[in-house]
A and B are shown apart, each in its own frame.
Chain A
Amino acid sequence: MTTAMNQQDGTNRTPDTEQLVDLKCVFERPQALSDKPFHYCPGCSHGTYHRLIAEMIDEFGLLDRTVGICPVGCAVFAYEYFEVDMIEASHGRAPAVATGVKRSLPDRFVFTYQGDGDLASIGMGEIIHAAARGERITVFFVNNGIFGMTGGQMAPTSLLGQKTTTSVDGRDPRTTGHPIKVCELLSSLEGVAYLARVPLTSPKNINTCRKYMRKAIRAQTEDVGLGLVEVLSPCPVQWGMKPGDALHYIDETVVKAFPPGEFVDKLESPIKT
């Protein structure tokens, strides 16, 4: 196809073989990410977050000593996608499993990957106590404000007025309460070393997310305390939006309820990378 196009274009382009020598791959699948295609819906940020975690594992050279803990929820098959050891935890209990792994194998890098139904709903007790104990684990938290896998029910992180299959007239604070802001909630605990929230809505924000993830990983590798990065992810299918519109909805509406930024940063030295 390319050769045919070159002939149509004219003479300026050199043949394929010479171009290959000149070209350098600057963006490809990270080594820590397996070749299996993701099972996530079109436009879901789980895939992007998986890629970022794999990039971080590559960047810190942790591929041979990483243990990941999977949640229950949309990312329940996350162990299929990483080329590291993974454990599937009971619903919400990933921080407890990670505590056990980290205490028995202190030289490993231990991370949990959790959604909002897992971390902010059934597993709220586990994450609060892991944070209070200051466990040296890194939590990658995906907040899409809805229970995606089970059919779009209202989650603890659903916005006020948000329409879901269990709040068809919009979330009413008189009967169902207010959204739980996990970063603000955990920021009062002494054991937390790093807390940040970022929406995964643009290449700029993805770069910011990389910056935050580096610090959350350093919180563990430098033995400071628990690190947590919360990403605001779209759920286009359950929100009933096109993927692009869902990103605009996050930028315009969700960030008002969940303001992005760094909440706790107890790391001393500036970032090295």
Chain B
Amino acid sequence: MDLCQIHVDRCKGCELCVEFCPKHALEMSEGRNAAGYHPAVLAHPDLCNGCALCAEMCPETGIEIYRRQKRARQDATDQG
């Protein structure tokens, strides 16, 4: 699963997420969504580090961000 989940049908194509992505992982799609906009898509999932700047700038709250849990620290707290 990608760290950045874009709800394509909420997108209005304002391109703010593309502009503010520091890793340039997002691009505008050639296709259209249900409302007729060109939605943003995560074109390079391998570049995304889940910094959430795109989600912060999205006026539609159309982006969810997931991050990997730190396994080592979790294990340490479990043990003691």
Report the 5 A-B pairs with minimum CB-CB distance, sorted nearest first: A47-B59, A43-B14, A42-B12, A27-B65, A42-B14
Report which B residues bind A (CB closer than 8 A).
1-3, 9-10, 12-16, 19-20, 37, 45-46, 50, 52-53, 55-61, 63-69, 71
Task: Check A22 against B61 for contact (C-beta < 8 Å).
Answer: no
Q: Mark A178-221, 1 if CB is under 8 A from B, else 0.
A: 00000000000000000000000011001000000000000000
Interface residues of A in 64-95 (CB under 8 A from B): none
* A contact residues vs B (CB 8 Å cutoff): 2, 5, 9, 16, 19-20, 22-30, 33, 37-38, 40-48, 51, 202-203, 206, 236, 242-244, 247
Judge whether B60 and A38 touch: CB under 8 Å.
yes
Q: Is the CB of B53 within 8 A of A26?
A: no
Contacting pair A20 B1 (CB below 8 A): yes
Is A203 touching B57 in the complex (CB atoms < 8 A)? yes
11 more contacts with CB within 8 A, not counting A26-B50, A44-B59, are: A22-B69, A26-B66, A27-B56, A27-B63, A27-B64, A28-B64, A41-B12, A42-B59, A43-B15, A43-B59, A203-B56
Complex Cα distance, B46 from A202, in Å, reads: 24
- Name the residue on B nearest A19 (C-beta): B1
Q: Can you sample 24 A-B contacts with CB below 8 Å?
A: A22-B68, A23-B67, A24-B66, A25-B64, A25-B66, A26-B67, A27-B63, A27-B64, A28-B64, A29-B61, A42-B13, A42-B59, A43-B14, A43-B59, A46-B59, A47-B59, A202-B20, A202-B57, A203-B20, A203-B53, A236-B14, A243-B14, A243-B16, A244-B19
- Give the one of A9, A20, A37 with max B CB within 10 A: A37
Contact of A16 among B1, B10, B55, B64 (CB under 8 A): B1
Number of residue pairs across A and B with beta carbons under 8 Å?
Answer: 85
Q: CB < 8 Å: which of B14, B20, B61 contacts A51?
A: B61
B60 partner, pick from A16, A27, A30, A37, beta carbons under 8 A? A37
Separation of A247 and B61 alpha carbons in the complex (Å): 18
Counting chain A CB atoms within 10 Å of each CB, which of B9, B12, B46, B69 scores highest? B12
* Interchain CB contact (< 8 A) of A33 among B9, B12, B56, B61: B61
Structural contact, A206 and B66, CB atoms closer than 8 A: no
Asked whether, in the complex, the Cβ of A206 is within 8 Å of the Cβ of B1, the reply is no
How many angstroms between the C-alpha atoms of A2 and B45 in the bound complex?
Answer: 10
Residues of A within 8 A of B19 (CB): 244
A227 to B46 alpha-carbon distance, docked (Å)? 44
Q: Is the pair A38, B66 in contact by a Cβ cutoff of 8 Å?
A: no
Closest residue of chain B to A44, judged by CB?
B59
